[in-house]
Structures are given as C-alpha cells and as structure tokens.
Amino acid sequence: MRVTFYGVRGSFPVAHPKVTQVGGNTSCVVVRAPGAPALIIDAGTGTRAAGRDLMREEFGDGVGEGAFLFSHTHWDHIQGFMFFEPFFRAGNRFTVCARGSHDRRLRQVFAGQAESPHFSYGLDAFKAAVDWRAIKEGESFSIGPWRVRTVRLNHPGVAIGYRVELGDKSFVYMTDTAPYDDQLLCEGFHERKPDSDPEVVARIRECGRALEEFVTGADVLLYDTFFTPEQYAVNPHWGHSTPDEGIRLARQGGVRRFYNYHHHPEAWDDVLEGRVKDYARRLGGSDLEVLLAREGEAVEL
Ligand SMILES: [Zn+2]
Ligand SMILES: [Zn+2]
C-alpha cells in the first residue's frame, strides 16, 4: 500500500515562507493499493490536491471507487470536502464513514458546512454516488480488500483512530488525541475530573490500554504531535498530544516507523525538522524510525 500526505497541519491552513518544506494544508491522507478502493482519511484543505491527483486516474473517467474515513468533523478535517473534484464526475462512487454522534444524521453534518450563507452550493451538486455510513469507535469493517479497525481517541467531541490493513501490512492514523493520562475528553463537552474519581481513572486506563493494543505491530504510525510537552502542559484540554507520548506508544507496540503529524500552525520548517532530528538522535540504535510527515510525500508499506 502507498500512503500519501496531502495535508499535515492542524487547526487551520497556513501560507507562510517558513512552511514551504513541510506544508501548510490541513489533514488529508490518501491510502492506495492496486485494484482496491482509494481511502481518503480526513478532508482538510489538502483534499483539493488529493482530488486533483485522483482525477488523473480512474476517477477522471467516472469509474473510481473510494471511501472517506473521518477522524472527526472539526473544521481542519472537513474544510476541503466540497473542493474534492471526483465528487463532480458522474459514475464515481464513495462511502463516507464518520462517527455517528449526537442527534444529527451524518449527511446533515456535512450538508451544514455547505449551506448558505456558508457556501454557494450544497451536497446536491455532487454527481458521484455517495453513501453515508455512521460508525462507532471500536467497530471493525471492510472496504473492498481493506480491513479497517477503529479506536476511541481523547479529543473534545471524541475522535476516531483508524488502523488500515492489507495483507500483512498495517497503517495507523491517530489524530486528534491527548494522551490518556489524567483526563477524559468527552462528547459535546470535555470533562476534567480529579484523579481521585475511581470510575474516571479506570476508564482512562482502559482507553489507554486499548490504544496500546491498537498500534501493536503496525508498520507505520501517523500521530498527533501538535504540542511540545511544554505546550501540552498549558492546554491539555485541547485534545492534542506530543512526540514523546507518540514515541512511547510506538515503542511499546513495536511499530517500525513513526510520523509526526497534525503540526501546530506556528511550527515552522526549521523548528519541526530540528525537533524530529533531535528525537531521532535520542533514539539512536532503536528499531523505531522517527520521521516528519511532509505534504506531497508518500510512504510505501
Ligand atoms: Zn485537528
Ligand atoms: Zn479536532
């Protein structure tokens, strides 16, 4: 399988001379394998370029098949959705998988961002066939030959992590999430209860163990490294993590390659590159490779 990074930034897209090496578009990753439906994970602003590339293949002829897997529907993960060209070619077929939550139907969640006065055309403008599939964290399912597993992440409103497997290869996409240390961020509103509440402590431990099991044996882990440890200490309730926590997870699970992802909008190229080099140096001699997700780059598994 081939995983291509089309958007690697978190929160909002950035245009600045100091992001040209790593990229300024928000979350979007495409997973492809010959003969299998294209998997598009999250639809931040990077989705526009992803759609352009897919139009050069079978999607341009109106015979493409693909599925969107959404971590959650915060802005930085959906803003490119209406700019995805293959939606406007009749014959293409898509399934949109996202967490079904609250009392709103999944299609309505996506229709909302396209409604006037926010946008000039709605989902009815799509010429491709689109199925909407509400999923729940912990669920496993197949998309063509892909096996997909899901896990609950620690984020306001709850996000979903994905493990995509084909043959003996596996790729884990894990953003947006805080470490499961002393807080449990929940649906609708986040909670921060004291450590002394045994029920919450037990739930946090259980979720943390589930994440450790989830990444075990993965070839590649793409992980939310939005914060440095110092930044995390100030805003733990934002629901983002650090390279330290991701590397801990990767090492305990015997992961081969760890990618820093969902970069802070003000983390410039030299800062990110220096940071990743520093972590890689500290891990010198270990089996884990520490890398930086860069827009436009791909990893082969
Ligand atoms: Zn995000
Ligand atoms: Zn988010």
Domain-wise residue ranges, the chain: 2-300
As a whole number, mean pLDDT of residues 45-57 equals 98
Residue 103: the pLDDT is: 52
User: Residue 194: which pLDDT band, with cuts at 50, 70 and 90?
Assistant: low
Of the listed ligands, the closest to the CA of 238 is: 2
DSSP assignment of 150-183 equals: EEEE-STT-EEEEEEEETTEEEEEE-S---SSS-
Provide CATH code, domain 2-300: 3.60.15.10
Q: What is the pLDDT of residues 135-144, one digit of tens each?
A: 999 999 999 9
Q: How far is the CA of 285 from the centre of ligand 1 (A)?
A: 32
Exposed (0-12), middle (13-18) or buried (19+): which is 159, by Cβ within 10 Å? buried
List, for residues 279-298, the tens digit of each pLDDT value.
999 998 889 999 999 999 99
Instruction: Indicate whether 44 pLDDT > 60.
Output: yes
Span from the CA of 226 to the centroid of ligand 2 (angstroms): 11
Q: Is the pLDDT of residue 106 over 80?
A: yes
Q: Distance from the CA of 291 to the center of ligand 2, in angstroms? A: 22
- Of the listed ligands, the closest to the CA of 11 is 1
Neighbours of ion ligand 2 (CB under 5 A): 74, 176
pLDDT of residue 104: 63
Which pLDDT does position 198 carry in this prediction?
85
Distance 154 CA to ligand 2 centre (A): 10
